[in-house]
Amino acid sequence: MRRTLTAVASILLFLGSAAIVDAQETPAPLDELLDRWEAAFNAGDYAAMAALHTADAKRMPPGEDLINGPAEIVERTQMFAGFEIELNTYSGLVDGKLGTSWGTYKLVGEIEGTPVTITGRWMNAAKKTSDGWKIYRDIWHEMSRM
């Protein structure tokens, strides 16, 4: 019985600490970075969006080759012209000059005249540079397409 109570208490403590971690708010610098990224994407200003990435940034789209640096980010993002994205951030953290955040996205637009909504999850890593916070790594995957 004592082992059972100890095991249950350990599980509850673990679940409680996991909930606390998941309930964190995204640090303001990362929240602001993501707000600027989302606004630039939705305005179709892919150069401004790409400028929010480090020079050595890597984007990792699902099922495709890496996207390397701001120039490739602009080139490969132009295919989403006319789409709007909504980012929902679950949590994030900053430790010195490095940070990470994660959440879900909803991308709405048209493909060959057919309305489409794509949803998924994303995660990125950011660095504090002399020009402010920038995205260093970015990965996402698709959960649904309607």
Please write the tens of the pLDDT for every residue from 95-116: 999 999 999 999 999 989 999 9
**The most confident of 8-17, 43-52, 87-96, by mean pLDDT:** 43-52
**Average pLDDT, stretch 77-102?**
93
Q: State residue 6's pLDDT score.
A: 42
**Local confidence band at 33 (pLDDT 50, 70, 90 cut-offs):** very high
Tell me: pLDDT of 19 over 80.
Answer: no
Q: Per DSSP, which regions of 3-131 are E strands? A: 53-60, 67-68, 84-95, 98-111, 114-129
Q: State residue 39's pLDDT score.
A: 97
Pick the residue with more confidence: 111 or 48?
Answer: 48
Tokens 């100890």, residue?
6
For 57-71, the pLDDT digits (tens) are: 999 999 999 999 999
Cα–Cα distance, 99 to 27 (Å, whole number):
9
**Average pLDDT, stretch 34-46?**
96
**Local confidence band at 10 (pLDDT 50, 70, 90 cut-offs):** very low
**Local confidence band at 24 (pLDDT 50, 70, 90 cut-offs):** low
**Local confidence band at 9 (pLDDT 50, 70, 90 cut-offs):** very low
Cα–Cα distance, 56 to 71 (Å, whole number):
11
Beta strand 53-60 with 132-145: parallel, antiparallel or unpaired?
A: parallel
For residue 50, give the amino acid letter.
A
Residue 110 burial class via C-beta count within 10 angstroms: exposed 0-12, middle 13-18, buried 19 and up: exposed
